[in-house]
């Protein structure tokens, strides 16, 4: 399920302003400190999404007793669930005519198709991306990054934030690789979940 821009503000979210067209996290000015070149404005825009998913923290690389010792109740064979909040931050220079950094509607379509529809009401351990990965928040944030980074223009995906519970917030960012493929979508310049039992 998608819940863009709805619900209670996450306590660990870095957002400071919620606007109708997106949530702006910060604005930075960069340029020649000597004033030889005009400053360029860099703005980050963050969009918020939610999905519900089950998972179990477990790795076949460790014996069962070690898994239980390391992951505790989250290693329960029946799994458990969260309402995940995903914060997708994009960065760029605002369009001089519209003031927009990006096409918000295109971003929403992309994230809903690539992330929300894929994970919502699913068991993360059954997803191919976690065949050799433990379904931790750290790994899920990285998987979401990998799914999105090649679908947006190079340099525009700034970071992925992931709220798993009231106390767990994960953040992932990486430098874009030189071999990134071009974007596949048009782009104009321009309360967090509690742990609940999973139903087997």
Tell me the C-alpha distance between 103 and 98, whole Å.
11
65: tokens are: 């007793």
* Candidates 24, 41, 52, 74; catalytic one: 74
Residues 159 and 176 sit within 8 Å (Cβ to Cβ): no
Q: For the chain, how many residues are written?
A: 200
Structure tokens given for 136: 């931790």
117 has catalytic annotation: no
147 is catalytic: no
Q: Is residue 149 within 8 Å of residue 157, measured between CB atoms?
A: yes
Q: Is the dihedral of CA 100, 172, 75, 133 positive or negative?
A: positive
β-sheet bridge partners, residue 157 = 90
In sequence order, the 6+-apart residues with CB closer than 8 A to the CB of 40 are 29, 30, 31, 93
97 tagged catalytic: no
Q: Which residues, in sequence order, are bridge partners of residue 43? A: 27, 92
The active-site residue, picked from 28, 117, 121, 195, is: 121
Residues marked active site are found at 74, 121, 164
């Amino acid at each position: 399920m998608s819940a863009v821009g709805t619900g209670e503000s996450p306590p660990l979210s870095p957002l400071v302003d919620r606007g109708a067209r997106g949530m702006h996290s910060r604005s930075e000015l960069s340029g020649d400190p000597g004033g030889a070149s005009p400053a360029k404005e860099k703005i980050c825009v963050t969009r918020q999404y939610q999905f519900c998913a089950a998972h179990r923290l477990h790795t076949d690389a460790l014996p069962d007793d070690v898994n239980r010792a390391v992951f505790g109740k989250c290693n329960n064979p029946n799994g458990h669930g969260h309402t995940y909040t995903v914060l997708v931050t994009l960065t760029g220079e605002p369009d001089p005519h519209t003031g927009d950094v990006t096409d918000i509607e295109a971003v929403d379509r992309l994230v809903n198709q690539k992330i929300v529809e894929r994970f919502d009401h699913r068991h993360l351990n059954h997803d191919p991306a976690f065949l050799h990965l433990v379904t931790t928040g750290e790994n899920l944030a990285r998987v979401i990054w990998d799914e999105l980074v090649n679908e947006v223009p190079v340099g525009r995906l700034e970071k992925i934030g992931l709220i798993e519970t009231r106390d767990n917030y994960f953040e992932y960012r990486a430098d874009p690789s030189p071999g990134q493929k071009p974007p596949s979508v048009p782009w104009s310049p321009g309360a967090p979940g509690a742990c609940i039992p999973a139903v087997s």
